[in-house]
A = this chain, B = another copy of it.
């Protein structure tokens, strides 16, 4: 009997080890809120993990709220992220920080964006949580730099890139990726309908695109 039990334990161990999944929280705005829907990018990341036989190594959790800017993430980081003890957090924010300047006069100043972004990073590093950064993709898909907010989106994305570099963090550079995709696939220079439904939110291909990039970055986290 003892022999049998011991054998069982030995063989079962790999299984139990695998059970300690890495919890990945996607922390963001409405794009991430929609990410957990059936065709959403987070759902697709899960499917990609399954396809790669890694479903048992990760747990993917969405923590996106519509209209969120960087300081909204900071306000709810304790309740919505830290309290859930994630191993990895993907910070995907910035669209509203730029967009709301124009749509409602309530965007985020560049210097404040940097401060809150760094304050978020400190919260995670204090708890040894790994972080993946992402640049805001688009508000308008025209590829010739004629979308109204291109200047600011480029600038805030540059900031995120430099924060990633300075802190040696993996970066999902969606802004760069979307532009390159558009240059290949948007010959008519359309404002929407390429990777978004409405200039901002992801369509089927957009979710696929974001999921692919996210999944690569998540796997790169040591």
Contact = CB atoms under 8 A, between A and B. Distances in A.
A148 interface: yes
Chain A, interface size category, equals: 20 to 34
Interface string A157-172: 0100000000000000
Interface string A127-153: 000000000000010001111111110
Contact of A150 (B106, B112, B119, B150): B150
Interface stretch (A4-12, A35-43, A52-60, A67-75): A67-75
A212 interface: no
Contacts of A104: 101-102, 109
17 contacts: A67-B109, A71-B74, A71-B112, A72-B112, A74-B74, A74-B75, A101-B104, A102-B105, A103-B103, A104-B109, A105-B107, A106-B107, A145-B154, A146-B151, A146-B158, A148-B151, A148-B152
Contacts of A216: none
Interface string A67-110: 10001101100000000000000000000000011111111110
Nearest to A74: B75
A155 interface: yes
Contacts of A148: 151-152, 155
Contacts of A109: 67, 100, 104, 106
A116 interface: yes
A166 to B, nearest CB: 18
A205 to B, nearest CB: 23
